[in-house]
Amino acid sequence: MQLIIILLKRSYIKAHFSLMPKNYRFHIIVTLLIVSVLASCSRKKDKFLNRNFHAMGSYYNIIYNGNLALSEGQEQLAASYKENYWDILPIERLEITTVDGVRTEAKNEKFKRAEEKATKAIQKHSMYMGGKEYNPQIDEAFLLLGKSRYFDQRFIPAKDALSFILTHYPKSSTINEVEIWLQKTNLRLGYYQEAIDNLINLIDTKNLEPEISVLANSTLAEAYIIAENLSAAITPLTTAIQLTKNNNFKGRMLYVKSQLFQQLEETDSAYASLNQIIELNRKTPRDYRIHSFLEQKKLKDYTKVHFDSTVLFFQDLSENRENRPYLDFIFYEEAQFFRANDSLKQAIISYNKSLKENPQDRYLKAQDYKELGDIYFNRANYITAGKYYDSTLVNLTKRTREKLRIKKKRENLVDVIKFEGIAKTNDSILWLVNANKKQRIDYFETYIDSLKAEAESVFASEDAIQLGSDFKRRESSRSSASSGSSSFYNEKSKKRSFEKFKETWGNIKLTDNWRTNPQSGSFASKDVTETTEEDKFTAPEFQVETYIAQIPTKKAMIDSINDERNFAYYQLGIIYKEKFKRLDLASAKLEAVLQQQPEERLVLPSKYYLYKIYQETGQSALKEKWKNDILNNYPESNYAKIIRNPKALLEDENSPSSLYYKTYKQFESGQFKAVLENSNRYSAQFTGTSIVPKFELLKAKAIGRTQGLKAYKTALNYVALTFPQSEEGKYAQQLYNTVDQNFIKNKFEKPDEDATFKLVYELQEQNHNSEKLKELINKFLIEEGLNFKVTVEFYTDQIDFLIIHGLNSKLGAEGLAKKLKQVEELLSIKYFTASSNNYKVIQIYKNKNEYLETQS
């Protein structure tokens, strides 16, 4: 520009310029101005015009729009953030979803745009020369870059951008703010102590502006909270509350402060903080105020507040139209108040009202279900309690101790629900067996009337005919699951609905607009038969005789039903005693067993457990009754020994644990027949105790060794289904699920070149002493200079295999067999050769004969 002015000063330029036409002079001036602007665009010259051109261009165009995008992104994060009032609220509403903060690409479009703007400002307007930046807005661009990456949870790239400012722009006007954001990033990366130390140093040594001080102190408070130093967080949080002019943020920090005081058990201070939120009234978000009201009530202890005034308090909150978004929490706390004051009926109503609001907070929904489950659990209504616990577990998404505890509690209910169902059903059937004709007719007429009322509406809930399905279950496989029916949908209800539909609409065709277009169906030409009231309910399910005919009459079936009922009662007695400590329910069930003609195997255990229950409850007369009964009528039993000497169970070699140990040793030594016999005997002897699943699993393994894979799977399935809550039952289920993967297929294969072979002698149990034959063979092999391993292995109850291992070929095995004919005792014994893999198939599937057929 200076060059242009100098040239213009020249006299000949002036003379020629003055003589030019005006339009030429105008074009020349514009051209010169453009040239001057282009000259000022250079980022390599430290001139006043250059600096201000790039500063204004970067801030008012690029950085401004980047900050707008950043603000929009922050608003999106805040709007999508789900508060967790069950824990201390984070001061910054940022849900951390990244694993390590290393990600390089932006996910949020708003933060991506902010980052792009920051990058563009740096690339096009940076005037970094000689180790110095001459554009005063570039530090703002780097700060925008760091913030956009921070909120996009790319913390390591964010730290790089912020650290660049500290290194290259130490005199930046934003240096204190940058330091705070760097420590916020350190917090997210897990460097808590580093962040705390740097923030304390910044607050103590720098004279911070109020807005920056709020950011520094609130960040320090959050660092203390994350580091679980709650008491230290109070002071910086109080400072931030006093300095901030943002009432939304103030309300949040006050609520966090009240939560900290509650954790520190400083109830009065927590109450005061909540009161400050309430006094802000509409200046702060309403959810903080509503939760403050609820928390204040809880701080006073629901059992100590005035009952009627508290009822009115919850009523006023729920009737306020502005509080509709918070009714789920309001009704939940109302239910908690009623439950604390033993108003369980009102508590159930309020929990259900909370659920009807369809809470978006899944943990709140889980708590509603859990509290209802606990109420019904304490009432011993275990079937209903189980349903509520199921819903609780569905809504507890995180694997926590609480979830594991509820899961365990629900698992304990499986057997209760199962046996209560059996007991209830069998009690009903046995009542009908003993009922007179009039009682039966009255019972089924009442039931049929309910079916008729249900059938009047197509839209009524379609319930299965439970009694009929119970009889059918018994007549078939005794398993309702196998029928595939549901209590809400079955073939009978489907048929009823279809007939009701036909009665209303006739035999119309399945076409579009069948309801409104007469031509689409057969309204014009249908032949609808009028149905009278007498004809409407002629189906067998509406006839009393249908059900009366299904009542069992054979003594064997009635006895079976009675035995099944008694066993269910016995199991319930043990479960109520051992798992739930409900001794009243346990004694009632066990007393009932003894009054209902039980099997002999249930009598003595029932009496013993009644003795133990009355001993625990201090009912001396009943305790003595059952004690004397056992000692007088079963003096040689284990239970009598235990009563006489409580340590007998531990000392007695016939205790359950000792007997199991002996049986297990028999299994290890291959005495599978003895294992099967003992497992059956001891399972019956110790019915209802925790040792039974152990014997049953051991028996399943012995069955696998003696009867093959198919029988093994059946036995495992029995253990898994009969004892599903025991460790043995769960292990059996795992084995059952993987058994086909863990065993080779039932297929004989041609041996490869590297295969090893076995020479197998079949020893019939009644003919040979296996150990003697083993000694003779070993002696012969030593004399011949041969080094082969010889074993005796179980095959079936009638056959053992005497095996010579380690032969290199089938020909070599057959050659050895010929040499062994010199041993006179082996001459009459059948033998065969098999590769190691084929021998495994023979043992697993017990198919020796099939193998021999393939060799012939």
DSSP labels, 758-811: EEEEEEETTT--HHHHHHHHHHHHHHTT---EEEEEE-SSSEEEEEEEEES-HH
**Each residue of 678-733: pLDDT tens digit?**
888 888 777 767 788 899 899 988 888 888 888 888 888 878 777 766 788 888 88
SS3 653: coil
Per the DSSP assignment, residues forming a β-bridge with 790 are 804
- According to the model, what pLDDT value does residue 520 have? 46
Is it the case that residue 630 has pLDDT exceeding 80? yes
Domain boundary, last residue among 389, 406, 428? 428
C-alpha closest to that of 747 among 825, 854, 627: 854
pTM above 0.75, yes or no: no
Q: How far apart are CA 42 and CA 1, in angstroms?
A: 14
Tell me, yes or no, whether 773 and 831 share the same domain: yes
- Does residue 437 sit within a domain? no
What are the b/e assignments for 423-460, b being 16+ CB within 10 Å? bebbbebbebeeeeeeebeebbeebbeebeeebeeeee
C-alpha closest to that of 145 among 159, 161, 125: 161
Token duo for residue 162: 């912020």
- Does residue 806 sit within a domain? yes
Q: How far apart are CA 474 and CA 550, in angstroms?
A: 11
Domain boundary, last residue among 601, 619, 651? 651
Q: Are 14 and 8 in contact (CB under 8 A)?
A: yes
Residues with Cβ within 8 Å of 224's Cβ and at least 6 positions away in sequence, in order, are 196, 230, 232, 233, 236
SS3 652: coil
Better-predicted residue by pLDDT, 828 or 11: 828
C-alpha closest to that of 39 among 31, 161, 100: 31
Pairing between β-strand 132-133 and β-strand 128-129 as defined by DSSP bridges: antiparallel
Range of the domain at 404: 371-428
Per-residue confidence band for 532, with pLDDT thresholds at 50, 70 and 90: low
Q: Which parts of 629-695 are beta strand (E)?
A: none
- Does residue 189 sit within a domain? no
Instruction: Phi first, then psi: give them for residue 764, nearest 5 degrees.
Output: -70, 135
Tell me, yes or no, whether 635 and 575 share the same domain: yes
Tell me, yes or no, whether 784 and 721 share the same domain: no
- Does residue 722 sit within a domain? yes
Q: Interhelix angle for 327-340 vs 344-356, to 10°?
A: 170
Is it the case that residue 266 has pLDDT exceeding 50? yes
**Each residue of 326-348: pLDDT tens digit?**
999 999 999 999 999 999 999 99
Q: How far apart are CA 268 and CA 270, in angstroms?
A: 5
Tell me, yes or no, whether 602 and 666 share the same domain: no
Tell me, yes or no, whether 604 and 631 share the same domain: yes
- Does residue 829 sit within a domain? yes
- According to the model, what pLDDT value does residue 261 have? 95
Indicate the DSSP class of residue 528.
P
Q: How far apart are CA 62 and CA 138, in angstroms?
A: 11
Q: What's the longest Cα–Cα distance across the chain? A: 144
**Each residue of 471-483: pLDDT tens digit?**
444 444 333 333 3
Tell me, yes or no, whether 774 and 703 share the same domain: no
SS3 354: helix
Average pLDDT over every residue of 784-798 = 83
Domain boundary, last residue among 680, 711, 742? 742
Token duo for residue 143: 């700060």
- Does residue 668 sit within a domain? yes
Q: What is the DSSP string of 74-101?
A: HHHHHHH----TTSPPPSS------SSS
Q: How many CB atoms lie within 10 A of CB 20?
A: 12
Long-range contacts of 550-555 (CB under 8 A, 24+ apart): 550/467, 550/468, 550/471, 551/429, 551/432, 551/433, 551/440, 551/471, 552/429, 552/433, 552/471, 552/474
- According to the model, what pLDDT value does residue 489 have? 38
Indicate the DSSP class of residue 634.
-
Token duo for residue 157: 């790239």
- Does residue 580 sit within a domain? yes
Tell me, yes or no, whether 637 and 689 share the same domain: no
Q: How far apart are CA 168 and CA 86, in angstroms?
A: 44
Domain count, the chain: 5
Average pLDDT over every residue of 388-396 = 92
Token duo for residue 132: 């110095």
CATH code at position 826: 3.30.70
Per the DSSP assignment, residues forming a β-bridge with 128 are 133
Tell me, yes or no, whether 729 and 766 share the same domain: no
- According to the model, what pLDDT value does residue 488 have? 35
Placement of tokens 């599903």 in the chain: 724
Q: How far apart are CA 850 and CA 507, in angstroms?
A: 60
Is it the case that residue 504 has pLDDT exceeding 60? no
Average pLDDT over every residue of 257-277 = 94
Tell me, yes or no, whether 840 and 770 share the same domain: yes
Q: Which of 46-60, 138-152, 762-776 has the lowest mean pLDDT?
A: 46-60
Share of the chain above pLDDT 90, in %: 34
- According to the model, what pLDDT value does residue 653 have? 60
Q: Are 609 and 590 in contact (CB under 8 A)?
A: yes
Angle of CA points 663, 666, 670, to nearest 5°: 145
Per-residue confidence band for 58, with pLDDT thresholds at 50, 70 and 90: very low
Length of the chain: 856
Tell me, yes or no, whether 712 and 800 share the same domain: no
Q: What is the DSSP string of 287-338?
A: HHHHHHHHHHHHHT-TTTS-HHHHHHHHHHHHH-GGGGGGHHHHHHHHHHHH
Per-residue confidence band for 450, with pLDDT thresholds at 50, 70 and 90: confident
- According to the model, what pLDDT value does residue 525 have? 43
Angle of CA points 217, 220, 225, to nearest 5°: 125
Q: How far apart are CA 386 and CA 417, in angstroms?
A: 8
Q: How far apart are CA 841 and CA 844, in angstroms?
A: 5
Per the DSSP assignment, residues forming a β-bridge with 760 are 803, 832
Q: 11-25, 143-157, 347-361, 501-515 — which one is most confidently predicted on average?
A: 347-361
- Does residue 125 sit within a domain? no
Angle of CA points 827, 833, 834, to nearest 5°: 155
Mean of all residue pLDDT scores within the chain:
80
Better-predicted residue by pLDDT, 283 or 400: 283
Per-residue confidence band for 528, with pLDDT thresholds at 50, 70 and 90: very low
- Which amino acid, residue 622? L
